Amino acid sequence: MADTKNYGPKRLVVGAHYGVIDFIAQRITAVIMAVYTLVLIVGFLVMPSFSYENWKALFTFHAGPIPAGQMLASLFFFALAWHAWIGVRDIWMDYVKPTGVRLLLQVLTILWLVASVVYFAKILWSI
């Protein structure tokens, strides 16, 4: 009987290695969300009073001509949507075995995330 060792340096490696890219993407999006959360916490702490104008200023401040507040909030929300897609897609792939049901759930997840991003952008960029 042949020695079919499937571990160590001589293991058989197959597949497209999507897991590595998703792992890195999840970590990058998590860092983006953590940094933005810290920026918001600092903004809340230095806010003179909790009013609509000050709340709005957290999301509409400018760095010169650049709308930095809106761009940072958009980056956060895009990172959140991508992070959620990777996580929910992996849940569907791991735990939903019928292919048709899994595909339906993935399509519904994509539609929901895209609609959420569009709704967020509409609200944020109309301020």
Q: Is the pTM of this model over 0.75?
A: yes
Tell whether 7 is covered by a domain: no
**Half-sphere exposure (Cβ direction) of 27: Cα atoms closer than 13 Å:** 5
Question: Is 7 assigned a ligand-binding role in the annotation?
Answer: no
Q: Which domain holds residue 72?
A: 67-126
- Rounded distance between C-alpha atoms, residue 73 and residue 36, angstroms: 8
At residue 127, the pLDDT reads 83
Question: Residue 79: how many CB atoms within 10 A of its CB?
Answer: 20
Residue 22: partners with Cβ closer than 8 Å, 6 or more residues away: 86, 90
d(CA 13, CA 119): 42
Annotated ligand binding at 62? The verdict is no
Question: Into how many domains does the chain fold?
Answer: 1
Question: Which tens digits make up the pLDDT trace of 55-71?
Answer: 899 899 999 999 999 99
**pLDDT for the residue 50:** 87
Report yes or no on 60 lying in a domain.
no
Counting as low any pLDDT under 50, the low residues of the chain are: none
Residue 45 lies in a domain: no
